[in-house]
Structure 1
Amino acid sequence: MKKIFTLVFIFVISILTATNVHADHKLASYSVTPIFSEHQTDGADSYFDIKWPPASKESFGIKITNNTKKTKRFEIEVNKARTNRNGIVDYSDRTPEKANTVYKLTQMIRLPKEVEVTPNSSQIIHGSISFPAKDFNGILMAGLHFTEKTTTAKKNTVSNTVAYNIPFVIRGNHDQRPKPRLSLDQLKMTKPNLSTYELDAKLTNHHQNLLKSVKTVSSIKNMDNKTLKKETKRIDITPETTFENPIQVPKNIKAGQYKLVLTMQHGKDHWKFEKNFKIKPADLKVAKRHQIQNHSALFIGLAVIALIVIGVGWIIFKKLKRK
């Protein structure tokens, strides 16, 4: 009987881990390596970190290695670094920079948009960045985003292509950074899945500051100032970025008026925001209906898995009994 359980366990684990094995194989198909410029910051050996040299043009490179037996084409994007909903830096967001941004790093960096690499070989891509004559005291952040170009991609299909990101940081030649300024712009109810709601706090980092490990405390309160939900986390906020900081709404909350109290701390800098919001009865009805549907689907899925495990175990048991 012990042998039966062992075989069933191995069968189930093999199903659960099949995707990871495939992903590891894909990760080895190609690689990218930065080739640094003259003004690369000492100690930064895996990404570009350049101190602003006024009125100059800086050259850099990237080596792309194709580890397969087929010729591959790779697409290269320069994207602004942004803070995503999880509070981490995202280099894959293609949203254009705001029109009033003084220094658009996505336009200052020059790179070919596509490159072809022959089988089992490497190719060096040459890039450049031009700096204005004025001094600069902030921080700019972008990401070089590399993906393999596929010709079989179709609409409504899931791509399994591995992407690489190389951060590209520019530090001002003046070490005195601007005073950080954050603002709470908007509150919006969203539904990340069928059974829960989140309150998205839309915030903006107005200046050219990188704010790392910002402590955020989000509290949902009723109009009597009673705290119904409280979340504490740390996030990284990229320069000149508008981002969303979500907090999950309690499942037992009722329709009515509420208040978000959001405090943020970065070193000696503190911010406190308060804003009222409303939950409509119709929103809660939709959430509860989907929650019931989700629970039903979960129970059905678990029952199917249990039947498969029992069936496999029974087949193995019958074969062992015959022996």
Structure 2
Amino acid sequence: MFRKLIKTILAIGILGLISLAAPHSVHAAGAGFTITPIASKQQNDSSVSYFDLKLKPNQTAQVKVKITNTTTKTLNLIASPNTGYTTDSGSVAYDLQKLGSKSTAPYQLQTLMGGQQKIAVPAKSQRVVTFPIKMPATSFKGVLDGAIYFLNPQTSGSTVTNKKGFSIKNRFAMALGVTIHEDTKTTVLPKLTLGTISAGTDQNDTFSPAVKVKINNTHATLTKKLKIKSQVSQNGKTLFKTNTSNLTMAANSNFNYAITTNHIALKAGTYHLHLVARSGSQKWTFSRNFVITKAQAKTANRHARVKKSYFIWYILAILLVLLLLLTAFWFGRRSSKQKK
């Protein structure tokens, strides 16, 4: 089952710490190329390690990046301006072009920056690539957050197959952060809301059954150093609980927070969730009853690693031993009476 789930795991190295104040090349071992940002006139904060741009409604601008091919062959790279989203492990990522329900940002970076570019860089040479920006006519508060995601699809790195037959394929990418403001004077604070609660699996706990809680950041700002405490109870008894910290949520995003059962099978029934989230001085408290159906529990358990319970076998073994003892005792008494 798990071989089908993770037959190929794509491990991508993302490097985003690129200084604009003192530009330097950044590379990933085996990627075959480096990228160097070229400082923009619209840079709002030159001390940060990404493009931090202040623009106006309807304004046009551009950012430039120098790409260096360190190999002896022409590289055909793919550069994608992607909006940031939140992974289910509670971190910000930039590797997806189409986010669907993962993002509620009013504008997507791929739309504002002209979409994906295919870039050919000759062997042992450099090329400067321009990414145009066209701001929407309607103003907004907060940030549009994302990155220019550079991928070399030709570089597959090493493929390792372990004893269980899982193959891990390495590919290399680098992400150069892009944050766009229009109003830098107004502070926009995060706002978290509680979404759906469902049964699923927790991949971070080696595919344990889990209660999946969708948490939404509805405002256009990052939620940093997020701490979450949760507990799932039934009839007043706490069954599962978590205490996690140092999570980050992208602006206008959501993720499925997993409350692991520690490999105990989920059962159908009515449960109660109590969850407290903190970020800085902000605090959100959520309490809600929810139902897990038999079908949902069965599906979650089927796709998870569940501890096998031997309790019934222990009971049967004890009963069998008692039955054998009683049988032996009965035959013993019967034999004794016959001899008398």
Per the normalisation by structure 1, the TM-score is: 0.72
TM-aligned CA distance change 1:60 to 1:235, over 3 Å: same
Structure whose residues are more often helix by fraction:
1
Confirm or deny: 8 A CA contact 2:30 2:155 kept in the other structure: no
Does the alignment pair 1:278 with 2:292? yes
Secondary structure of the 1:161 match is strand
Unaligned 5+ runs, structure 2:
1-26, 158-165, 309-340
Q: Report the alpha carbon displacement of residue 265 of structure 1 after superposing the two structures with TM.
A: 1.6
2:241 to 214, 221, 229: 229
| Distance in 1 (alpha carbons) for counterparts of 2:108 and 2:304 | 45
The aligned residue for residue 94 of structure 2 is 91
| Distance in 2 (alpha carbons) for counterparts of 1:152 and 1:56 | 39
Mapping for residues 73-112 of structure 1, pairs under 5 Å = 73-96=76-99, 101-110=105-114
Confirm or deny: 8 A CA contact 1:195 1:291 kept in the other structure: no
Mapping for residues 1-323 of structure 1, pairs under 5 Å = 25-27=29-31, 29-96=32-99, 101-110=105-114, 113-150=117-154, 159-178=169-188, 180-192=190-202, 196-226=208-238, 228-252=240-264, 255=267, 256-275=269-288, 276-278=290-292, 280=294, 282=298, 286=302, 291=307
Confirm or deny: 8 A CA contact 2:104 2:253 kept in the other structure: no
Secondary structure of the 1:110 match is coil
| Distance in 2 (alpha carbons) for counterparts of 1:216 and 1:46 | 28
TM-aligned CA distance change 1:258 to 1:152, over 3 Å: closer
RMSD: 3.2
TM-aligned CA distance change 1:282 to 1:133, over 3 Å: closer
User: Is 63-72 or 270-279 further displaced after alignment?
Assistant: 270-279
User: Is 201-210 or 158-167 further displaced after alignment?
Assistant: 158-167
Confirm or deny: 8 A CA contact 1:264 1:272 kept in the other structure: yes
Unaligned 5+ runs, structure 1:
1-22, 293-323
TM-aligned CA distance change 1:187 to 1:122, over 3 Å: same
Secondary structure of the 1:106 match is helix
- Structure 1: which amino acid aligns with 2:74? T
Partner deviation per Cα, 1:36-73 (whole Å, 9 max, x = no partner): 32111233453111113343211210111110111111
Q: Report the alpha carbon displacement of residue 78 of structure 1 after superposing the two structures with TM.
A: 1.7
Q: Report the alpha carbon displacement of residue 97 of structure 1 after superposing the two structures with TM.
A: 5.4
TM-aligned CA distance change 1:127 to 1:230, over 3 Å: closer
TM-aligned CA distance change 1:196 to 1:58, over 3 Å: same
TM-aligned CA distance change 1:107 to 1:231, over 3 Å: same
| Distance in 2 (alpha carbons) for counterparts of 1:254 and 1:102 | 38
Confirm or deny: 8 A CA contact 1:143 1:168 kept in the other structure: yes
| Distance in 2 (alpha carbons) for counterparts of 1:58 and 1:261 | 46
Secondary structure of the 1:107 match is helix
Q: Report the alpha carbon displacement of residue 158 of structure 1 after superposing the two structures with TM.
A: 5.8
TM-aligned CA distance change 1:53 to 1:72, over 3 Å: same
Q: Report the alpha carbon displacement of residue 279 of structure 1 after superposing the two structures with TM.
A: 6.6
Q: Report the alpha carbon displacement of residue 119 of structure 1 after superposing the two structures with TM.
A: 0.9
TM-aligned CA distance change 1:174 to 1:284, over 3 Å: closer
Q: Report the alpha carbon displacement of residue 169 of structure 1 after superposing the two structures with TM.
A: 0.6
Secondary structure of the 1:200 match is strand
| Distance in 1 (alpha carbons) for counterparts of 2:210 and 2:240 | 14
Q: Report the structure number with the largest CA radius of gyration.
A: 2
Q: Report the alpha carbon displacement of residue 113 of structure 1 after superposing the two structures with TM.
A: 1.1
TM-aligned CA distance change 1:172 to 1:227, over 3 Å: farther
| Distance in 1 (alpha carbons) for counterparts of 2:303 and 2:131 | 50
| Distance in 1 (alpha carbons) for counterparts of 2:185 and 2:305 | 55
Confirm or deny: 8 A CA contact 1:229 1:250 kept in the other structure: no
Confirm or deny: 8 A CA contact 1:34 1:46 kept in the other structure: no
Q: Report the alpha carbon displacement of residue 287 of structure 1 after superposing the two structures with TM.
A: 7.3
| Distance in 1 (alpha carbons) for counterparts of 2:174 and 2:236 | 49
| Distance in 1 (alpha carbons) for counterparts of 2:151 and 2:54 | 28
The aligned residue for residue 314 of structure 1 is none
TM-aligned CA distance change 1:133 to 1:290, over 3 Å: closer
Q: Report the alpha carbon displacement of residue 269 of structure 1 after superposing the two structures with TM.
A: 2.5
Q: Report the alpha carbon displacement of residue 192 of structure 1 after superposing the two structures with TM.
A: 4.2
